[in-house]
Chain A
Amino acid sequence: MKIKEIQDEIVEEFSHFEDWKEKYEYLIELGNSIELIDKQNKIDSNLIKGCQSKLWLYAELQNDKIIYTADSEAIITKGIAAILLRVFSNQTAKDILNSDIKYIEAIGLKEHLSPTRANGLVSMIRQIKYYALALNTN
């Protein structure tokens, strides 16, 4: 699926939630189902700065597509990472670089986009794009 389609799908899923509790319960569920970073890549050099809980992100190229994996000590941070990975993992570098993140706002998690939230979301998005730049084969 294309990035935009996955984003629309996530927005659709989140539109069914009545309150913050349902939303966060889903976020926690997503956090538990995240594609975990390989143990050998869970190292300090893959830590994302600006996060209160440790957050690791790794990327590698497989058949022209970037596969992202992540992990965090905090489950909500992991859930947020899962929402990003579902969209950006297994896409081409070019598509990742041309995409936007408006869907985060659309699912009502805009508060997490503030750099003061200390959950590393902004830094994680930046790192996802950096990896895409670095691994861009075109």
Chain B
Amino acid sequence: MSFDINKIRSDFPILKRKINGSSFIYFDNAATSQKPNIVIDSISDYYKNYNSNIHRGVHTISQEATDAYENARAKVQKHFNVLNSHEIIFTSGTTHSINLVANGFQDLLCDKDEIIISGLEHHSNIVPWQMMSEKNGAKIKIIPINENGELDMKIYDNILNSRTKLVFVNHVSNALGIINPIKTIIEKAHKVNAAVLIDGAQACAHFKTDLQELNADFYTTSAHKLCGPTGIGMLYGKEKWLKKLPPYQGGGEMISDVTFEKTTYAELPHKFEAGTPNVSGAIAFGVALDYLNGIGFENICEYESSLLKYATEKLKLVPNLKIYGESINKTSVISFNIEGIHAYDIGALLDKFGIAVRTGQHCAQPIMDHFGISGTVRVSLSFYNTKKEIDSLYNSLKQTISMLS
């Protein structure tokens, strides 16, 4: 299938908006992606035609809703090439998934154990482990980053040992867009029998990941990063691990037998899906994956690489602009500052030109501390962006700088 940018743009109603009289340009895709009509319509279709609670009802629409929900799980399974559908748990998103795993490891680890976290982590990847460590005393070790923003793998080798029980790394860093060498990280962790959780939130919109080939023990993503709705995501876990972890929340769906004396938990995946799930969200998540696969991740990857190259070259023409994290292995994120100008001022004025960028620490204060800066301007691209939009960014940025200097 050829990559028809005009057709793709017409799928996203929000791209027709005007902001302050200018055409809306959305460069905050790493925060959340925009949604195509087909995803938006699937949510309204669910509520209009077969809204129902799932897994229990004998009536028609309950069965339709159950089928659609489980069909969505099958789509996620297929997309990530997962062996068993019950290894896919629907969660509210990456943060929920990480907390689910951290909560489980709270009981599995003790104060003699260690876990390793990368220095590129988002806040939500750090806090659950600190909370876990407060309860069970397990030590947290960090893989630091070098001046390019890449993980220092020599230090990883040094801190990895037989006490390491768990390693947590994001597939792609949200502040800098750097793709981490997770395959190597996983292989090394497995040599000391440590489990590995990969946060794929920033990766999944840009390329496809085969989870059997990757061999991670846990992998998570949020649907809203890949054209799906907010409030839904997935946690993949190998069956042996999901069986080992205790349930995270109690409630309906996650039980098989309840008396006042004892409760028997339901089988996977329901053990981790307490209460009425986000049915419409899961269905729309499946539709979003269909949409992206329809375009083809090879096409998306190729197009985004050319956009990133173009944007990087164009931004480098701006005097006194410094880009952070210029690794060759990165997705379409450019984090930068202009010397002598605060990122907030740039973001506030670009907004006036109708351009949405992110400014600040990007929930990654440790990374900002590493570079000794209080924040950056982050431009994150998607397959529905165009070179013309990058030209507009360049022109607006030049005007912004002249206003501020």
Contact = CB atoms under 8 A, between A and B. Distances in A.
Question: Does B bind A?
Answer: yes
Interface of A: 20-21, 24-25, 28, 52-54, 73-77, 118-119
B395 interface: no
A73 B342 contact: yes
B367 to A, nearest CB: 16
Interface stretch (B258-266, B298-306, B314-322, B344-352): B344-352
B359 A76 contact: no
A52 B360 contact: yes
Interface range on chain B (Cβ under 8 Å from partner): 10 to 19
Interface of B: 20, 341-345, 348-349, 352, 359-360, 374-375, 403-404
16 contacts: A20-B20, A20-B352, A24-B349, A24-B352, A24-B403, A25-B403, A28-B403, A73-B342, A73-B374, A75-B345, A75-B404, A76-B344, A76-B345, A76-B349, A118-B360, A119-B344
Contacts of B403: 21, 24-25, 28
Given A25-B403, A52-B375, A118-B360, A75 B342 contact: yes
Nearest to A112: B348
Contacts of B374: 53-54, 73
Contacts of A119: 344, 348
A52 B352 contact: no
Nearest to A31: B345
Contacts of A76: 344-345, 348-349
B342 A21 contact: no
A24 B404 CA distance: 10
A74 B344 contact: yes
Closest 4 CB pairs of A and B: A74-B342, A74-B344, A53-B344, A52-B344
A37 to B, nearest CB: 17
